[in-house]
Amino acid sequence: MKRSTVLRRLMEENAPVVAPGAYDGLSARLVERAGFPAVYASGGAISRSTGIPDLGLMSMSEIVARLETMVDAVGVPLIADADTGYGNALNVQHAVRAFQRAGVAGFHLEDQAFPKKCGHYDDKSIIPLKEMSQKIKAVKDASEDSDFVLIARTDGLAVEGYDKTIERCHAYMEAGADVIFVEAPTSVEQIETIAKDLPYPKLINMFHSGKTPLVATSRLGELGYAIVIIPSDTQRAAIGAMERTLKAIRRDGHSGSMQEEMVSFRDREVIIGTDAYMAKDKSYAA
């Protein structure tokens, strides 16, 4: 079964689909091993993993190359971040074909002006409603996978306010989006009101210390949110662990004091699947 089909079935039968963020093959595999039904390929986390901020600095080709490694590492659907589609409607069509060749199950496309900013940064700008609607139609026209999940994201709350944002959401769904994503609501009441005013499958972004308050997954499901993404918490946890380990190495000359926080050499190889690779290598030995 296509992973896009799996994702659609999950949204229908097991919503909300909780998809923690990952940024490379290893982190994607850890999400899958933890039992989650889908992986979110966070554009911000991918960007930060290269040492640069989430400001639309990476090219589509760089993102797609990373997505290919992540898709290959897991068996569950991967939801990708397509930012603004890297340009106009023609760029968006080029992007959806590339993302589908990489094997992702769906992506979200946002209405920020290019180059974009992280949705929880200040001073964002957005394109006109009609322009974004045409980009959504362009994705649908270019898609070669009828089950590919197109998530339309709006950053309008911080720019135009609530009422115009809801107007955008209705227009984006009418243009052909499958799921609507209102970025960065700032209160529980707003999360609930969005759910009431938008009777469509919805995605919400949940992570600690952002502009959006944390709400229990069970409550989000009751409100009709079909997908919950947690974009970069895994990366932030990894940064903390690496910093603690590096401090120990600088202090002691080795990481002995950190052993309780580290997986063993052997456990790492199990996660990577080294034994299976070695067995396959032997099977082809001359």
3-state secondary structure string, 62-104? HHHHHHHHHHHHCCCCEEEECCCCCCCHHHHHHHHHHHHHHCC
Q: Using alpha carbons, list the distances in angstroms from residue 97 to 65, 69, 94, 145, 178.
A: 13, 17, 6, 9, 17
Does 225 share its domain with 279? no
Residues 46 and 126 in one domain: yes
The active-site residue out of 23, 40, 86, 225 is: 40
Span 45-52, average pLDDT: 96
The pLDDT-based confidence of 92 (bands split at 50, 70, 90) is very high
Give 133's contacts (C-beta < 8 A, 6+ positions apart). 171, 172, 174, 175
* Catalytic-role residue among 8, 23, 66, 110: 110
- Average confidence (pLDDT) over 213-239: 95
Q: Where are the alpha helices (DSSP H) in 115-161?
A: 129-142
pTM: 0.94
Cβ atoms of 209 and 19 closer than 8 Å = no
Q: Do residues 65 and 195 share a domain?
A: yes
Residue 160 has pLDDT above 70, yes or no: yes
Structural domains in the chain (count) = 2
Residue 115's pLDDT is what? Answer: 74
Residue-range definition of the domain harbouring residue 103: 3-233
Mean pLDDT of 50-65: 93
Domain end point (choices 192, 208, 233) = 233
Q: What is the largest CA-CA distance in the chain?
A: 69
Please tell me the predicted confidence (pLDDT) of residue 70.
98
Instruction: Please report the pLDDT score of residue 117 as a whole number.
Output: 61
For 164-176, write each residue's pLDDT tens digit: 999 999 999 999 9
Domain with residue 9: its CATH number is 3.20.20.60
Query: Could you say which of 3, 48, 153, 168 is catalytic?
Result: 153
Instruction: Give the pLDDT confidence score for residue 121 in this predicted structure.
Output: 62
136 and 152 Cβ atoms separated by less than 8 Å: yes
What is the per-residue pLDDT for 185? 93
If asked whether residues 277 and 246 sit together in one domain, one would say: yes
Mean pLDDT of 127-134: 96
Mean pLDDT, to the nearest integer, of 133-152? 97
The pLDDT of residue 286 is above 90: no
pLDDT value at 56 more than 70? yes
Q: Give me the mean pLDDT over the 133-154 stretch.
A: 97
Pair 119, 251 in one domain: no
Percent of the chain with pLDDT over 70: 98
Shared domain for 279 and 155, answered yes or no, is no
**110 included as an active-site residue:** yes
Domain ends where: 194, 215, 233?
233
From 233, 253, 269, the end of a domain falls on 233
pLDDT over 70 (residue 97): yes
| Chain segment 35-44, per-residue pLDDT in tens | 999 999 999 9
Catalytic choice (48, 66, 83, 172): 83
Mean pLDDT of 62-79: 98
Q: What is the share, in percent, of the chain residues with pLDDT greater than 90? A: 90
81 is catalytic: yes
* Same domain membership, residue 211 and residue 251: no
Residue 208 annotated in active site: no
Q: Are residues 173 and 265 in the same domain?
A: no
Active site (annotated) includes residue 118 = yes
164 and 273: one domain?
no
Among the listed residues 3, 8, 32, 54, the single catalytic one is: 54
Output the pLDDT for position 109: 97
pLDDT of 119 reads 59
Specify the pLDDT at position 124.
Answer: 78
Compute the average pLDDT of residues 199-222.
92
Domain identity same for 160 and 253? no
- Average pLDDT taken over every residue of the chain: 94
Q: Same domain for 27 and 154?
A: yes
Mean per-residue pLDDT, 17-23: 98
Q: Is 277 a catalytic residue?
A: no
Q: Are residues 15 and 156 in the same domain?
A: yes
Please identify which of the residues 3, 8, 29, 108 carries the catalytic annotation. 108
